[in-house]
Amino acid sequence: MKLFFACILICLSLCFSVNAQAKKPALPGNLTKYVNEYPDKLMKVTAVKTRLKTLLGKKYSIFDLSIAVQEPMTQVGDFILASGCMAHACTINEAAFAIDLTNKRIHAVIYEINKPAKYFNEDNAATPQVLLNWVKDHQNK
């Protein structure tokens, strides 16, 4: 009987995890067209905004404030990199996100001076080097 319930629980958990991944909205096809644009333009795209909100959860509002003063986006290898800082707090409170063009994953970071950076990665993927380098560059300012 315990084995039966264990099997049911495993099946249900697999169903819910597959459904959760299936509901992740697809990113736009040509993300490179956003290179040299400001991040707010890409952040207004429904799929990107939804996925950022899901990824960051309760930290989304802090992230949004921390990327308010923006720099044009760049392409670094297979990633689109978007970054900015909090108004009147540049170099103290900053944020960035990177979209993996190959795997279609979003990664984000919130950086505050004298605190460990907070990384957020879709699908529990490793933080890409482009975000690690971005934080390192900002720690050295």
Q: Quick one: pLDDT at residue 10?
A: 53
Q: Quick one: pLDDT at residue 140?
A: 78
Any idea where the domains of the chain sit in the sequence? 27-139
pLDDT in tens, 87-140: 999 999 999 999 999 999 999 999 999 999 999 999 999 999 999 999 999 887
Residues paired with 122 in a beta bridge: none
Q: Please give the Cα distance from 45 to 24 (Å, whole number).
A: 14
pLDDT in tens, 42-73: 999 999 999 999 999 999 999 999 999 999 99
Model confidence at 16: pLDDT above 70:
no
Which parts of 15-78 are beta strand (E)? 69-76
Tokens of 8: 């049911």
What fold is seen in the domain 27-139?
Inhibitor of vertebrate lysozyme, Ivy (3.40.1420)
